[in-house]
């Protein structure tokens, strides 16, 4: 399969819409910029920077981590853990349509795994990318404590999985390191907690006020940390001893990753200008 993608796109990473290979909409592309800020926060760590990514799909976010290592002139490793298999639980899959159906089809013939392997070939050479194929709850027990500078959680959105993934991340991150994740559209304190709890078996849900969210992420993050630092749905906490504290990510140096689509780069740039957060 990797050979097919090589022929389709020999000189560049490839993110076809048909495989929902870019996982978030244009409004969420700013989260890649926040990823680069997270790397900036650990750029002075001794030794090679170690990043763990839980949930990689076609490799879009991995390319951002890798480019950030290059930009900050640091060598590092990125370990990607993902089963590259069925995405939704069987119950939800029955009723799934649109992007979810397409994602399910993308796992047939190992298409998405092949695309990931193709895309990481174009990662910045400052980064060595390793991967383990499996669910994080199966893989985490084999990983040693306090070894990562950044643990990024973007795997399953189901409450029990996110709860596990955060707990494991807390163990795996070194003192002073970062635990962060994607898809926190709303924090628990800002929405109806009863609605969130009633929907934790769904990947995504829209509340009666029309607010879309990943209920499992909202609840698990709140239970693990309380309120977190939240940048456009990218949440981030720094380990300080046994505690985890909010991080002023808007003070970090950031950039727009080169592999974003041109239209997304423009949208992100416009958002950054209008936000007033950046110099
Ligand atoms: C939202 S996608 C990741 C998108 C990717 N980080 C990006 O931005 O391009 C979620 C990924 O998590 C993976 N996944 C699902 N359950 C998982 C689990 N228990 N452990 C690790 N990965 C999981 C899925 O296979 C899928 O590739």
Which is the closest atom of ligand 1 to the Cα of 136? Answer: 20
pLDDT computed for residue 195 by the predictor: 98
pLDDT computed for residue 241 by the predictor: 97
Task: Please work out whether the CB of residue 149 comes within 6 Å of at least one atom of ligand 1.
Answer: no
Indicate the pLDDT class of residue 97, thresholds 50, 70 and 90.
confident
pLDDT computed for residue 84 by the predictor: 96
CATH architecture of 2-246+259-273: 3-Layer(aba) Sandwich (3.40)
Burial profile 46-79: b = 16 or more Cβ within 10 angstroms, e = fewer: eeebbbbbbbbbbbbbbbbbbbbbbbbebebbbb
Greater confidence (5 vs 26) lies with: 5
For 120-144, how does the pLDDT look when each residue is reduced to its tens digit (9 = 90+)? 999 999 999 999 999 999 999 999 9
Indicate the pLDDT class of residue 212, thresholds 50, 70 and 90.
very high
Mean pLDDT across 34-41: 98
Sign of the C-alpha dihedral computed for residues 228, 29, 151 and 174 taken in this order: negative
Which is the closest atom of ligand 1 to the Cα of 86? Answer: 25
Mean pLDDT for all residues in the chain: 94
Task: Please work out whether the CB of residue 257 comes within 6 Å of at least one atom of ligand 1.
Answer: no
Closest-CA residue to 244 (of 269, 265, 224, 258): 224
Q: How far is the CA of 163 from the centre of ligand 1 (A)?
A: 15
Confidence (pTM): 0.96
pLDDT computed for residue 231 by the predictor: 96
Indicate if the pLDDT at residue 270 is higher than 80: yes
Q: How far is the CA of 151 from the centre of ligand 1 (A)?
A: 14
Domain ranges of the chain: 2-246+259-273
CA distance 243 to 245: 7
Indicate if the pLDDT at residue 105 is higher than 90: no
Strand 127-133 and strand 76-82: the pairing is: parallel
Residue whose CA is at the smallest distance from ligand 1 atom 5: 56
Report the 10 Å Cβ neighbour count for 245. 12
């Amino acid at each position: 399969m990797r050979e097919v993608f090589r022929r389709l796109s020999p000189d560049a990473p490839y993110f076809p819409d048909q495989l929902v290979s870019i996982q978030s909409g244009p409004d969420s592309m700013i989260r890649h910029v926040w990823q680069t800020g997270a790397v900036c926060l650990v750029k002075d760590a001794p030794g090679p920077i170690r990043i763990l990514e839980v949930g990689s799909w076609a490799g879009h976010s991995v390319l951002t981590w890798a480019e950030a290592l290059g930009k900050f002139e640091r060598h590092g490793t990125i370990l990607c853990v993902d089963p590259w298999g069925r995405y939704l639980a069987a119950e939800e899959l029955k009723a799934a349509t649109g992007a979810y159906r397409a994602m399910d089809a993308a796992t047939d013939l190992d298409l998405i795994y092949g695309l990931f392997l193709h895309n990481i070939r174009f990662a910045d050479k400052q980064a060595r990318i390793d991967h383990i194929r499996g669910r994080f709850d199966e893989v985490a027990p084999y990983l040693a404590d306090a070894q990562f500078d950044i643990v990024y959680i973007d795997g399953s959105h189901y409450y029990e999985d996110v709860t596990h993934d955060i707990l494991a991340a807390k163990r795996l991150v070194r003192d002073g390191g970062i635990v962060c994740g994607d898809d926190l559209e709303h924090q628990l304190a800002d929405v109806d907690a009863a609605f969130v709890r009633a929907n934790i078996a769904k990947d995504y849900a829209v509340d009666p006020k029309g607010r879309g969210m990943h209920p499992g992420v909202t609840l698990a993050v709140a239970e693990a940390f309380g309120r977190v630092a939240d940048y456009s749905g990218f949440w981030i906490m720094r380990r300080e001893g046994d505690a985890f504290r909010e991080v002023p990510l808007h003070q970090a140096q950031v950039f727009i990753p080169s592999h974003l689509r041109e239209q997304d780069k423009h949208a992100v740039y416009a958002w950054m200008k209008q936000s007033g957060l950046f110099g």
